[in-house]
Structure 1
Amino acid sequence: MASNIKRVLKCSGCERMTSESATKDVLVSHSAKGGKKCPSTKPVKGGPVRYRTVVDAGRDPATGKRIQKTITADTQKDLKSEVARLTVAKDDGTAVVPSKMTVEGLLTKWLDRMKGRVEEGTYAKYETMTGRLTGRLGALLVKELTSTHVEDFRDYMLTEGRVHGRQGPGLSVGFVDEMLTVLRRSLNYAMELKIVSMNVAKGEFTSIASTVRKQYEEDHESEEPWDEKEVKAFLRGIRNERLFASFLLSLMGLRPAEVCGLKWDAVDFENGILSVHSTRTMVRSTKVLEKRTKTDAGKRRLLIPLPVLAALAALRAVQEAEKVTAGSAYADKGYVTATGLGEPLNTQQYRRLAYRLMKSTGLRQVRLYSARSATLTLLANAGVPDQVLADWAGHTSAATTRKHYVKKNPQTLGAAREVLDKVLSLEP
């Protein structure tokens, strides 16, 4: 490598650092700034002397082209030390290639690679997240991104990041967590491309602190689901509602997307069995996506409670009559939760109807997912085993059901009180 080292001197004509020729102190032909050939061949007398060489940095993983890197140093010793470092980095795979890719360019490239590898709804969420990341970090070169940039982005999103909505200026801890995950994954991809040698988003202080999480949970207490009295009051108040059966499905534990995706061919009236295997979800709040349940656990067959079975039969009869009345105007698409002309409701329409009915019955408004939580909590209080609860809800893990859906309340702890009634009693 020493034979490839050249001295570079400052040109007296254009002041660029230029290699000298074989004849001492005569500069090789070179271009001045702007691309025009410099007429001078004389170095600055007594000017700085530096040393330069070119090393093989491997091949660009994206194009396969050979990469050569020019190194310049003040002394031959420094130059040889840098050459040795780059040689080791090349051999152990940690060398990075020269790149002017921005964070925006990286996120675009990563997002393009994810297309077709995840479900459409997940991809749409990634698009939203990469858009927010690009807005704050996109102009930076990937190689210039630091953990401090990531920390600043995280703090901004937690305190000022909300664009729409009325829940305060900051975004939720969960959503910011997901954005940081997307950034980490894209930087992992940058490491594969040899653009960077480390992932700065994996730094010790780039994640959300436990104290911040705890404060967020205290400020955003989870919604208390309906108790049994409220469930019954709601059902009594909407018993004459056309889609009474649909709300019974929600209150037997189905997700809103499962209720909207349910078709009549999944209802076995003879054996009283409901097959849950399809959903209708919203993408970007504008597009309806029909798909199978996300997990195998979500695909399940449930015994239909008798009140629900009766309500479903009544709704089926109503739809048959509507079909006759509407004639050719009826869109017979086979959905249970549909309009009077057969068009299926999407989850937004279904939620709006639910909230309107909650208001008309004088009950406090809860999310439809809280109605699902109410059901699972009531089943847990009745002594239904955890695994049965998870299977009924369509969860892979019983721990998930317990942690996120079964809410602690005095009724949940009733069995403990019954035991203590006897233990602490002074009666013989």
Structure 2
Amino acid sequence: MASFVPVPAGSDFPIQNLPYGVFSTKDNERRRVCVAIGEHVLDLSAVADFYPESVRESLQSTSLNLLMGLGHESWAVVRKITTELLLKGSKLEQNSPLASKALIPQSTVEMHLPAQIGDYTDFYSSIHHATNVGIMFRGKDNALMPNWKYLPVGYHGRASSVVVSGTPINRPYGQTLPVDGQPPVFGPCRLLDFELEMAFFIGGPENKLGERINVDDAWKNVFGFTVMNDWSARDIQKWEYVPLGPFTAKNLGTTISPWVVPVAALEPFLVDNFPQDPSPFPYLKHQQKFNFDIKLEVSIKPENKSEKVICKSNYKNLYWTVLQQIAHHTVTGCNVRPGDLMASGTISGETEDSFGSMLELSWKGTREVDLGNGEVRKFIKDGDEVIIRGYCENNGLRIGFGECAGKVLPAIAFS
């Protein structure tokens, strides 16, 4: 397939990708649904008349929620027609005034959160990350908690502080315990960290309260994937997480890429699911492949200096699949809704250069991470920009997620 829209070599956004996003421009501040193609966005509201009436309202909306709610059959129709419109010789290419209006350079648009996120759940599904953290805090013999291989561990996060790439993050204040056995202190977080994650948006008709989503049907509820940085205040987390888990250490901000890559674009990169032992309970067991070879990397860019890649990992390192995550999330009858966001948890590999957080890379602050130019880090400093990228690549085809970036600003002082 070749598009009439130029796609530079190495672009994240060839015609085989067509990730969804929401954008606005200076001369039109209304938010609109789009797909990325090369260095442009295609404004789907401008070309909505090419689509069946059943999907037009969703393409003319200010978020992706309506499209997410239509279900997988409608997603396939929209993707098919969008691809056809962008092919060489298409009706859109032949209508040059419409093409000029609908195709807008990415350099001139502002990207927004792709959906109104009703709920946000963060899982803990990387066995290498869970093992590393367990070794640090409990020792090698008790690295994994007894429940870890029996269910996808997770917690409910804060949807209101999920932000789009490029949004600055202020260093948070909180209570910490610098010295065990001494009283806590209050002040700015000292051990600010990133977490290399991916997330997916729930789609499809929502299940009603009391209804479960079967693991074999859960693929129908996966609209698409995005890259995530779940910012974490490690010293605040250490003091507050007992007995109910993460709270203010995790609600300071969660950054996602503006682009949502549909599952159809990732299918050429399917790989075997991670081996599971013991075998999961029947409600979590599925034969369908739903694991992907997505290459991930994290860079840190100190203020006024060049960025340095500090780790490389891969989505295929996840022990629990998103189908299992959905099945477990709803096994109680919990209802999920289009636009809900579910994250993977930190994605670490087996080797030290594939660890997906500063907590692991610095091994709880006992090692320095070299950023070049005389810069080293144990945790994130003010002025640092953390940039996460993800892409699939095979036989010359690259499917990317765009950047997930955020710069850390100093803590806002109390007046």
What TM-score do you get using the length of structure 2 for normalisation? 0.26
Q: Please identify the structure whose Cα radius of gyration is greater.
A: 1
